[in-house]
């Protein structure tokens, strides 16, 4: 029973972290749009997460050919 509860808690933590990451992605897109930049290729591959010291940061990658505005 204890192992089952540990597994459930781990799943809850993973879900919470995933949702927090998605919220950060949405906020990044909002910030880009506030700067009057339109990113024409939004997909998971274009988001990067920082490492160790910056692991809470989420970056949007793009090339100039994908931008309007």
Q: What residues are annotated to the active site?
A: 41
Reduce the DSSP state of residue 52 to 3 states and report it: helix
Residue 59, strand partner residues:
48
Q: Are the C-beta atoms of residues 45 and 55 closer than 8 Å to each other?
A: no
- Token output for 62: 């793009």
């Amino acid at each position: 029973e204890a192992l089952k509860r540990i597994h459930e808690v781990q799943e809850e933590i993973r879900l919470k972290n995933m949702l927090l990451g998605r919220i950060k992605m949405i906020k990044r897109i909002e910030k880009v749009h506030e700067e009057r930049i339109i990113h024409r290729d939004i997909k998971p591959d274009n988001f990067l997460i920082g490492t160790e010291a910056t692991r809470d940061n989420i970056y949007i990658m793009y090339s100039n050919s994908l931008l309007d505005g």
